[in-house]
Amino acid sequence: MSTHRYERLADHLRERIRAGYYSAGERLPSVRALAEAHGVSLSTAQHAYHQLEDARLIRSRPRSGYFVCALRERPAFPPPSKMAQRPVAVSQWEQVREGTCVLPDTHMHNLGRGMPDIDTPTIKPLLRALSRAGRRHDLIGLNYDTLHGRPELREQIARLSVAHGCRLHPDEIVITTGCHEAISVAMRAVCEPGDIIAVDSPSFYGALQSINAYGMKALEIPTCARDGISLEALELALEQWPVRAIQITPTCNNPLGYTFSEKRKRALLALARRFDVAIIEDDVYGDLSWAFPRPPTIRSLDDEGRVLLCSSFSKTLAPGLRIGWIAPGRYRERALHMKYVGTGSTATHAQLAIAEFIREGYFDPHMRRMRQQYRHNLHAALDVIDAHFPTSVRVSQPEGGYMLWIECGAALDSLALNERLMAEDIRIAPGVMFSATGKYRHCLRLNYAVMNDAIRYALKRVGELIGEMEKAEAREAMTAG
């Protein structure tokens, strides 16, 4: 979160430079002109320029002022191929296990996990609500909840659903132990062991592992880092294979960061209708989109109950509470059964606290703040990447959330990179986790939810090590050749 004026001003200039408003080599306004134009002090303007200089976006020439550096052009992601591969059993459990068994309260700089920033003043009322929920006279927080979840929380989720174009009724919602359980329930509600689920690729490893563990098969559909899943490839796949469900994260995708346009969401829904398959829509990052109003869910476009909408408060509030939900549409009865057999009812106490937090109006201001912070942090992360990553790496352009996807040269092994980083107490998410078959070994995912000097340093080290490894690789190739 920009707390200082100079940081906000730097953000503003940064966006103008990236958007091409100021082009490479161009001279920037003088410090005095900048200060006047923005109604800030001279020292604030000076500070802002210094920040951009540190990030190597501009440089100063003695006695001439500040000039825009040549933006280090990064290659764009190649368009995805048009062909899905065959349905496969998912592997890669080892890497996922590795990544999920790290204690959060160590000194490790974990750039690999899907953690939001929880250390923010706008979350304080949630702590108070948790505290109050525990002291309630009726002890409801200690009691078994009903299977579908507390009515006061379902009511608030239904209210919030208007923002993504839905008008969910509280009774359409089933509370779950995080979005992870929502997805797991959705898959088991729709599919049997042996069934094929089409997925965007790369995609959230939790969903892939669930497909694996329930004996289903994943059909990875080529996905474009800007526009999302290839509808052409999906159509071919649906023609070729008896797909039962499409599992997709169309808004603020993890890991790629894109948002599927409404038009493409409609086209996807039409395809699902034509081939009569269910859509498992993961909207867990949806509220973190920078667009206003936030993009609609596919669920909001669906009038047949074909979409099972899955989400949680893990990315917006706090993942440790493990409160998510599913709006399972026409699969409600099976979803309830699958919810029951997995965990019984959901923890009551946290539900009461979250319901109170939303009801009392704390959710929207919190979300505004977090979106602003993450957007700001994205620029800060890109500054580090511009300064310290090899220019050959491809970098995603997130439209929300707090994840970056980095594609290195084909020879880079991100598992080996992670090993080396761990010796320095830094962690990333290696790309192989995001594929059913260990693709994306040369890719990695980085979290920029929190930004400070230590994180900037960790990011810098990631870039430097990638550079070193790529150079070593190139030397070896030369020697061998």
Ligand X SMILES: Cc1ncc(COP(=O)(O)O)c(C=O)c1O
The binding site for ligand X (CB under 6 A) comprises: 114, 178-180, 204, 206, 249, 254, 282, 284, 312, 314, 319, 324, 344
Residue 195's nearest CA partner among 173, 210, 178, 180 is: 210
| Residue range at the interface with a second copy (CB under 8 A); choices 6-14, 156-164, 331-339, 445-453 | 331-339
> Is residue 452 near a second copy by the rule CB under 8 A?
no
Which residue's CB is nearer to ligand X, number 105 or number 303?
Answer: 105
If contact means CB under 5 to 8 A according to the sort of partner, which of a second copy, ligand X, none does residue 115 touch? a second copy
Minimum gap (Å) between residue 171 Cβ and a second copy: 11
- Measured from the CB atom, the residue of 2 and 247 that comes closer to ligand X is 247
Which entry of a second copy, ligand X, none binds 105, CB below 5 to 8 A by partner kind?
A: a second copy
Contact segment (CB under 8 A) with a second copy among 205-213, 221-229, 254-262, 404-412 equals 205-213
Q: Which is it for strands 307-312 and 278-282: parallel, antiparallel or unpaired?
A: parallel
Number of residues that bind a second copy (CB under 8 A): 71
Interface with a second copy by CB under 8 A: which range of 38-46, 203-211, 217-225, 458-466?
203-211
Nearer to ligand X, 44 or 254 (CB): 254
Interface pick for a second copy out of 73, 119, 303, 453 (rule CB under 8 A): 119
Choose from ligand X, a second copy, none: what does 282 bind? Cβ within 5-8 Å by kind: ligand X
How many residues are listed for the chain in this entry? 481
Q: How many helices (H) and strands (E) does the chain have?
A: 15, 16
Q: Where is 429: in which H helix or E strand? A: strand 429-430
Does residue 23 belong to the site contacting a second copy (CB under 8 A)?
Answer: no
CA–CA distance, 13 with 28 (Å, rounded to integer) = 10
| CB-CB contact of 182 with 325 (8 Å) | yes
CB neighbours of residue 37 within 10 Å: 11
Beta-carbon-side half-sphere exposure of residue 1 (alpha carbons within 13 Å):
14
Window 134-153: residues binding a second copy (CB under 8 A)? 134-135, 138-148, 151
Residue 49 binds what, of a second copy, ligand X, none (CB under 5 to 8 Å, by partner type)? Answer: none
What percent helix, strand, coil does the chain show, rounded to 5?
Answer: 45, 15, 40
Nearer to a second copy among residue 275 and residue 374 (C-beta)? 374
Residue with smaller CB distance to a second copy, 84 or 130: 130
- Tokens matching residue 434: 């995001």
- Pick one of 33, 71, 341, 477: the residue that binds a second copy (CB under 8 A): 341
Per-residue DSSP letters for 122-135? Answer: GGHHHHHHHHHHHT
Among 131, 261, 391, 452, binds a second copy (CB under 8 A): 131
Residue 171 within binding range of a second copy, rule CB under 8 A: no
CB closer to ligand X, 44 vs 253: 253
Residues 84-113 that bind a second copy (CB under 8 A): 93, 96-97, 100-105, 113
Residue 327 to residue 172: CA distance in whole angstroms:
6
Binding a second copy by CB under 8 A: which of 170, 178, 295, 328? 178
* Residue labelled with tokens 């996905």: 223
Q: What kind and span of H or E run contains 407? A: strand 403-407
Pairwise CA distance, residues 207 & 189, whole Å: 14
Which of ligand X, a second copy, none sits in contact with 213, Cβ below 5 to 8 A by type? a second copy
**DSSP single-letter state for residue 391:** T
DSSP state letters, 294-316? PPPPSGGG-SSS-EEEEEESTTT
C-alpha 422/C-alpha 428 separation (Å) is 9
Structure tokens at 390: 């090899």
Residue 155 sits in the site that holds a second copy (CB under 8 A): no
Q: How far is the CB of 128 from a second copy (least distance, A)?
A: 8
